[in-house]
Chains A and B, each alone.
Chain A
Amino acid sequence: MMRTVEVLFVIIIIVGAFIVAAQFAVLPSPREIFGTDLRELAVSTLQTFDAKYNLSRIVFNDENDPAWGALQKALSASLPPNIVYNLTVFSINTTGGAVTYYVENSISNAEGDLGTDSEAASCLVTSSEVTFGITPEKIGGEEKPRTLYILNCEDANGWWITGYTGQSLASDCYNLLSPYFETTVLVNTTEQLELLLENSTQIGGTIQNAVVINTFGEAVPIPSNYCEGGSEQSKGYQSGSYAKYCHTLGVRTRLCNWTWVSIVGYPLFYVTNTETLKNYHNGYRIYGMRSVGAAGLNNFLRGLDSKSYSSSDNQWLTKDIKEQLEFTSEARDFSNYYGIYPAPSPMASRALPVTGSLSIESRYQLTRRATMFKLKTVSGNQYSPAATFSHNGGGALTAIGLTRIPDIRITVLDLLMYYRPNIFRSEFGAGDTSRLVTLQLSQQGGT
């Protein structure tokens, strides 16, 4: 009998241990573990209802507006019958740096609290009556406002601008850059370009300290008078080469303190005039164009650096970077600041040398600014795919040595990086501009 009593004690201990263990081994409810992800369902519901800004419009309406009823019906109709919801809209008030939220309105298909098993998602919506505006600072300020000249010559052909024309790129440049300049002048013919080169006031704007954008890629428009046999031939043509014209451009850039902008490819590689040069082509059957070769850029830089013209200076400068480029951190910052987002990771086939014996910086007293992409090393020397090179005695060259098709946003961003105009952001409209919308969901039924 004694053994039986002992066994009964043992059983009591075992059962007690089991009961104690079972108290701790409580599994969560199946609905909690296996139910639909209500938070993501709430996120997707808010997103789809606001896909065409319907939600943004409704939540700013008065609470008696019928749109609230429509929203309630739509929510009830879209969610499964076993899901209850509570949509609450909060207005946001900022006073003295402290943010407070006030309940504006709430709609629900459940009575009372949705319970602890509920999940919620929220989104911030902005009133359609609010206008966010920006006011760009003019480059040069009020004292020295700079003029933007965009070459838009109808009697010129482009090269290395596949998919575009010089005129279409000029239009893009105008749209993106004109807000930053006091005056923007479209140079519509090579005759007008001659006025610019001859410092004539007829062209409009202020020629001194101007920015001149050549939108024709590797080709640069040349006035007829500067061509062979023209009245100003000595400024554009010498001994069978138009490199003299590029030298003249370099000299003008220095004397007038211009920033000369080449948007893509090898700068100043061809000259173009569809009337005077109509019987010449660039070697690829694009007529109205003559090749200058590497001598064009070399003589531009010589002119920029007060060096004399040299017909024999035709050393090829650029290198082909056989890998994708990376934006510099500075370029990324300015990209966000100005809201200009060029295509990432382009390629460069006309990167300019900045170290070594061919370095344009050391040979022509240039300082590299507004470096758009990280420098790349080829054959032991560093090359810059896109930057603005300012001359110590005045004038600058923006050279975007990327492969075609041109991305005009890179040119625009590089110029803005160079001049760094401020942007003044403003917000117009009612004070109650944003509201917080939360959607709480809970599953009914089951366990």
Chain B
Amino acid sequence: MAGPTIDHMVSITVLVAALLLTFGLYNQILASALAYQRNHQVVVKAVDLMNTICLSPGNPPNWGQTNSTPLVFGLQNPEAAGYSLSPFSIMRLRSSENGQLVYYPKTGLYYNNVSLDGGSLLMPVGDCVNYTTVAKLLGVNGSYGFQITIAPTLNVSVSQVPASYLILKVQVRGPGLPLSGATLNYYMHQVVSSNDSFPLIITQSGVAQTDSAGSALLEFPSIDDSDDAYSFIVYAHLGGLNGVGYYSHDVLDDKPPFIVPFIKDLEQGIIIIAHNWDVHYYGSPVPAVHYNATFFVLTENFELRQVEIVNSTGKVNYGEGEPYATTQVPASESGILFISYRWGNRFGTVMVPWGISTIGFSVTFGGDPSDYSFVATELRQVIVNEISYQVKLAVWRLKG
């Protein structure tokens, strides 16, 4: 009797073990297939969103140049076709990377900050479109998260080379490798004193070429590398690929910049020239600042053409009874507002890009994908007002 019983027990145990193992393996295959399917939906959504963002101007098509909220979201340049983005629509995205807001008491408004060294772009938060609004307009609010990164394809870095006079090293790199043989069109705006209190700008321009390592040395014998204030802009281009870089140097005796520009009205092109002590109080002495503002339009041939603007010179100071100054630039033209300022023998500069691409600003907009297990990414090459950019889109599922 014991033999058959043991036989039954052994056989049932082995059978159950084999069945459990097999069910586990089948389950694994099914789970992988389901995960593939779910993730594939995210990938499809990423392609869909990328096409919508890059190949549609939104509605109204020129929403980037108005103060109104778009009814349909898209970043395509309404005056161009294909992968060409509007430099103004991108300006209105509330950046997620440089998320800190700047409060300016004299207007009572908070400003979205995408400023970098030497360049400043402070848009009123109320005029920016935020992540939630765009997610709703794209129809993914609550179901998918996304992050858009719009950055120049070429990294044009500029650094100073130690010498008795100013020598700048320009290095041009793409994501793949250094760009040798690239043509460089550069503009040096030197700030000098004048007979009156306002600073003067002396512009030098030239053309150079990068060597096999993608770099070039540019010499400016008339400029002292430590005692002169200047801003330097360089446009690099080769075989249809265009990039921009800049560098600026102030002579402020370790004080912070005196001037902070804020965009007041995007539709009208009005820019506030504010005293920095009104934004952050740095203590005495308070500089009484004379400024000189110049607007340059970027042409198709990468030339900077000066355009007359109102209130191009003026004086700003800190405190009540000292109103900020304003100037107005041509709202539909991409360019750079170059503000030089002076307090005694201290000189400084700040640049405001009118259109995100003119000094190669990049923008990161959207949520944070770091906590999600699967993130689909898409990449496109685009043109933003003559400058080559890349748009990277990361998409992830929020539910399920």
Contacts and interface: CB of A to CB of B under 8 A. Distances in A.
Interface of A: 1-4, 6-8, 10-11, 14-15, 18, 21-22, 25, 27-28, 33-34, 36-37, 40-41, 43-45, 47-52, 54-55, 58, 67, 69-81
Interface in B213-240: 238-240
Interface stretch (B31-39, B260-268, B343-351): B31-39
B175 A73 contact: no
Interface string B382-400: 1100101010000000000
Interface stretch (B10-18, B291-299, B330-338): B10-18
B382 A18 contact: no
Q: How large, as a class, is the contact surface on chain B?
A: 35 or more
A268 B245 CA distance: 61
Interface of B: 3-4, 7-8, 10-12, 14-15, 18-19, 22, 25-26, 29, 32-33, 36, 39-40, 43, 47, 50-51, 54, 82-84, 153-154, 173-181, 238-241, 300, 376-383, 386, 388, 390
B78 to A, nearest CB: 15
Contact of A49 (B29, B36, B240, B300): B240
A76 B174 contact: yes
23 contacts: A3-B4, A3-B8, A4-B11, A7-B14, A27-B32, A27-B33, A33-B43, A34-B376, A36-B379, A40-B47, A40-B51, A44-B381, A47-B82, A50-B240, A52-B300, A54-B239, A58-B240, A72-B239, A74-B174, A76-B177, A77-B173, A78-B154, A80-B379
Contacts of A37: 47, 50, 378
Contacts of A36: 377-379
B175 A79 contact: yes
A51 B240 contact: yes
Nearest to A79: B176
B181 A70 contact: yes
Query: Closest 7 A-B residue pairs measured CB to CB?
Result: A77-B174, A74-B239, A54-B240, A49-B240, A3-B11, A74-B241, A70-B239
Nearest to A53: B240
A48 B15 contact: no
A34 B238 contact: no
A34 B153 contact: no
A55 B11 contact: no
A78 B84 contact: no
A75 B83 CA distance: 17
Contact of A14 (B4, B19, B54): B19
Contacts of A48: 83, 240, 381-383, 388
A73 B239 contact: yes
Tell me what chain A mostly uses at the interface: helix, strand, loop, or mixed. helix
Given A48-B381, A73-B239, A78-B153, A34 B176 contact: no
Contact of A11 (B15, B177, B240): B15
Nearest to B174: A77
A28 B32 CA distance: 11
Contacts of A22: 25, 29
A81 B39 contact: no
- Candidate in A25, A33, A74 with the most chain B CB atoms within 10 angstroms: A74
A34 B239 contact: no
A75 B82 CA distance: 19
A4 to B, nearest CB: 5
B164 to A, nearest CB: 34
B14 A11 contact: yes
B240 A52 contact: yes
B83 A78 contact: no
A73 B14 contact: no
Nearest to B389: A48
A28 B35 CA distance: 13
A55 B240 CA distance: 7
Given A18-B22, A71-B240, A4 B14 contact: yes
